[in-house]
Amino acid sequence: MLRLSYKFRLYPNKTHLQKLESTLELSRELYNSALLHRISAWQKARYHVTYTEQANSLVEVKQVRPEFEEVHSQVLQDVLRRLDKNFKAFFRRLGNGEKPGFPRFKGRNWYKSFCYPQSGWQFLGDRKIQISKIGIIRVKKHRNFPEGARLKTLTLKKEIDRWYAIVSFEIPDRKDKVAIR
């Protein structure tokens, strides 16, 4: 399977913009608080917090902070996966004798995207995309997906004042071989 990505421009209205900004900010807050939790657990008890432990605590987070109910659950899980991936890369580089950078807290301008890793979104024709907990947003879908493509993830990214949908998909390997001369 070959994995590819297409990037499409979004045209959100004011309500959508507010929800996108709120989701991005809550994702950043969750990332930073999960990082703080891992650091403090290590400093106090030399305890390594796992992704599973942090993902299981999302229920408690939603009870304490009801605004997190407005964010799709898989988006929140992906934020924690992102942090876990950063820690694994840090320890891998440390083990290889490289000079790794410890995962950092993210400021407003350093956290620019969030991801729907499996479900919670779908295209409605060529001009609209429905995103769970955000709404139906106009999109400029300037190219179609190849035949047999299986849509995998949707990443919503903010670049300056514009929002983009980055859709990754898999296409099957070609069965016929092409000779190159």
**33-85 per-position pLDDT tens digit:** 999 999 999 999 999 999 999 999 999 999 999 999 999 999 999 999 999 99
Element (H, E) at 21: helix 14-45
pTM of the model: 0.92
Residue 18 has pLDDT above 80, yes or no: yes
Collapsed DSSP state (helix, strand, coil) of residue 71: coil
Predicted pLDDT at 173: 84
Sequence ranges of the domains in the chain: 2-171
First to last CA, the chain: 25
Q: Name the residue type at position 113.
A: S
**124-162 per-position pLDDT tens digit:** 998 999 999 999 999 999 999 999 999 999 999 999 999
Q: How far apart are CA 160 and CA 94, in angstroms?
A: 34
Place of tokens 């429905």: 130
Predicted pLDDT at 180: 76
